[in-house]
A = this chain, B = another copy of it.
């Protein structure tokens, strides 16, 4: 057996096209609806928010969409990303399973987010846009867009959820290093922010509120657009480069996954690693099981409802059909900030509804335990979000051990945890506990979903 640890691609092996799963789906996605008319929205409805090139990607049914050369040129700073065989982790677990991980933490911002930040900045610059507004939780997305903006000379303004803004000043400093402006949300800079603060001046903020603030600002100015770091089809599309590279690398390893695991918040890194494998299966190739791992404290896929809902708290977005905990649901303050979103990407949700992927949920202490075991064997200290994928992969490996099966497991290590060391400190101090949402609040949030007739 080869002891090879790292499977590297050369720059000229970097994919030239993103893979669009919509081309291979057995059933098309449900339409996106205007909340007032409940009629499907068209490209023009989205034009105040996004440049037309991204809107066209949002609705495209083409299987392959070309990655522009200037985008590939920036990707060369960290892509192709390495695929690792986790020899030491396998040994520590005593599992017959083979574990591979695709590592996305080598990007400048330390996560998979620049994979979409760079093309989004590129298409906006091409369209003559001067300024991008966005939201961020822990700051992985905000720092990635700040990085991309700095390369294309775009102003970037980030509404950061206040609790993260206060607790994670290092991510903010990273955004500022790339030249972005960072504002705590809810803020006084928007009508919606002021309305939230009027009710509760100490509101800790949420992703849903920050999205509302960013959208409000974006629609007001001609030279300004909005950018979203997950959930939307074009964002998921941009992340498919992860899985496309991983497929080439699994071939280099003369192996193929039986299971593909990813953590799921908005759904983009899961889609990135999984969609190319799902599509390969739908076209008749060997299809791995796909496992989405979410936090037990925000269990969108495992406890949510598959229904039409708003993407934001302020109800400025169109309605999309997705697994949701309700747009009024506020997840408890656990440490994987990137997974604290009430909804799940419509395309990931559609796959779940079609039986193309499974979902599990784990509590945060167990996920940190998995992350520390990983760090002590494989060296990389993972982001709290990525710890969920590791936990999922370890559970699969332990199942293989019980069943005596030498299956091949692939997971996406979406980012490093160097900005999240306070969480690890708390874990070691025994101060990290499992967070629980309020069952009554969840029931209320699910009961207040918008009323959309089944026939639509």
User: Which residues in A have some Cβ–Cβ distance to B below 8 Å?
Assistant: 3-6, 8, 10-11, 73-74, 76-78, 84, 88, 106-108, 110, 114, 147, 150-151, 169-174, 176-179, 372, 375-381, 416, 418-419, 421-422, 424-425, 428
Q: Of B4, B88, B110, B421, which is within 8 A of A174 by CB?
A: B421
Cβ contact within 8 Å between A174 and B381: yes
Q: How far is the CA of A147 from the CA of B379 in the complex (A)?
A: 6
Cβ contact within 8 Å between A108 and B379: yes
Q: How far is the CA of A108 from the CA of B4 in the complex (A)?
A: 18
Cβ contact within 8 Å between A6 and B376: no
List the 8 closest pairs (A to B, CB-CB), nearest first: A108-B379, A5-B76, A173-B421, A170-B421, A418-B418, A173-B425, A150-B376, A173-B424
Cβ contact within 8 Å between A425 and B176: yes
- Could you jot down 7 A-B contacts, CB within 8 Å? A5-B11, A6-B77, A74-B379, A108-B381, A114-B379, A170-B418, A173-B425
Report chain B residues within 8 Å CB of A171: 421
Report chain B residues within 8 Å CB of A422: 169-170, 173
Report chain B residues within 8 Å CB of A425: 169, 172-173, 176
Closest to A69 in B: B3
Closest to A85 in B: B76
Q: How far is the CA of A310 from the CA of B3 in the complex (A)?
A: 44
Given contacts A150-B375, A170-B170, A178-B376, 15 further A-B contacts (CB under 8 A): A4-B76, A5-B11, A5-B76, A6-B76, A6-B77, A77-B378, A110-B418, A150-B376, A151-B377, A170-B418, A170-B421, A170-B422, A173-B428, A177-B375, A419-B421
